[in-house]
Structure 1
């Protein structure tokens, strides 16, 4: 985990150049990363996601792929949002602009994600079984169905960030 500010403030995950993936802990052993033996590994499938987010089946659950570019990414639980650092002079400046960015974002169409509980965010190239020993962030989510929406926002002249917001749907 990369830390740009005071320890414990925000934990950022970086990839080696490909997408990041949020895999439910219950199915981590089923994510093969780039080591898949089939014609298309899980990493290859993640790289084929077109756009800022996509869903891929893993075991009996679904992983959320954060596509587009390999930006440093953190999860801000107060906003239910993955923040992707595309450009900005400092972490403090970037994080200070998140509330305004969430308000002004032009969101892409939503996807629905069924989540069995906590997920690990890590480089899609790594096998899920190895992810706890790599650069990762554990995101605690209540089990249930979420809407996921994404946007690219430039809340300042030198600040550009990606947003992937999770919103839990109410039980019916």
Structure 2
């Protein structure tokens, strides 16, 4: 099994202060970020999401918005979970506590997210077509419907993390 703390094993995405967003690759060109002539940009819509996660329409699909705080975020495919680094002395400590955090999490209300396949996690202020120019993470997902749930967990005295778990739903 891969140890996530090995160099290069986990790639973290950070934001400039606003929410992170996971947009299906097929609709990236439709995400305008903070750009646009409209009164409310896509970025403004993302900032209005109340709670740890929410969905916003993008093209003929939906994007998953990571609300609450702009914590560094990565995806751990073995757990089907986005992990948000709120507080920890080291990446190794944070990742070592993920299994305990998953086991003790008090999950919030689920949202249903239908994805056409791979999504891209990035700072919601960026236009989708420019993700290659900023920190981003491609997350390979099987096309289908997912139940998405979130939790804030303190698995250690100095360790806090956010969890956003994806569970594939039957067809």
TM-score range relative to shorter protein: over 0.9
Say how many residue pairs are matched.
168
What is the deviation of 1:5? 5.0
CA distance in 2, matches of 1:108, 1:124: 23
Is residue 31 of structure 2 the alignment partner of residue 31 of structure 1? Answer: yes
Do the aligned partners of residues 78 and 5 (structure 1) sit closer, same or farther apart at CA in structure 2, a change above 3 Å counting? closer
Q: By how many angstroms is 1:164 displaced?
A: 0.2
Query: Which residue does 1:9 correspond to in 2?
Result: 9
In 1, Cα distance between equivalents of 2:119 and 2:9:
20
Match of 1:96 in 2: 96
Distance, in Å, in 2 between the alignment partners of 1:94 and 1:74 is 12
Q: Residue 79 of structure 1 corresponds to which residue in structure 2? A: 79
2:33 and 2:120 mapped to 1: Cα distance? 13
Residue 29 of structure 1 deviates from its aligned partner by 0.3
Residue 82 of structure 1 and its aligned partner are, at CA, apart by 0.4
Q: Which residue does 1:149 correspond to in 2?
A: 149
Q: TM-score, normalised by structure 1?
A: 0.96
Gaps of 5+ in 2: none
> C-alpha deviations, 1:29-83, integer Å up to 9, x for none?
0000000211100000000000000000000000000010000000000000000
> Which residue in the other structure is 2:118 paired with?
118
Distance 2:100 2:117 in 1: 29
- TM-score of the two chains, using structure 2 as the length reference: 0.96
What RMSD, in angstroms, separates the aligned Cα atoms of the two structures?
A: 1.1
Partner of 1:48: 48
**Is the 8 Å Cα contact of residues 5 and 95 (structure 2) preserved in structure 1?**
no
1:131 matched to 2:131? The reply is: yes
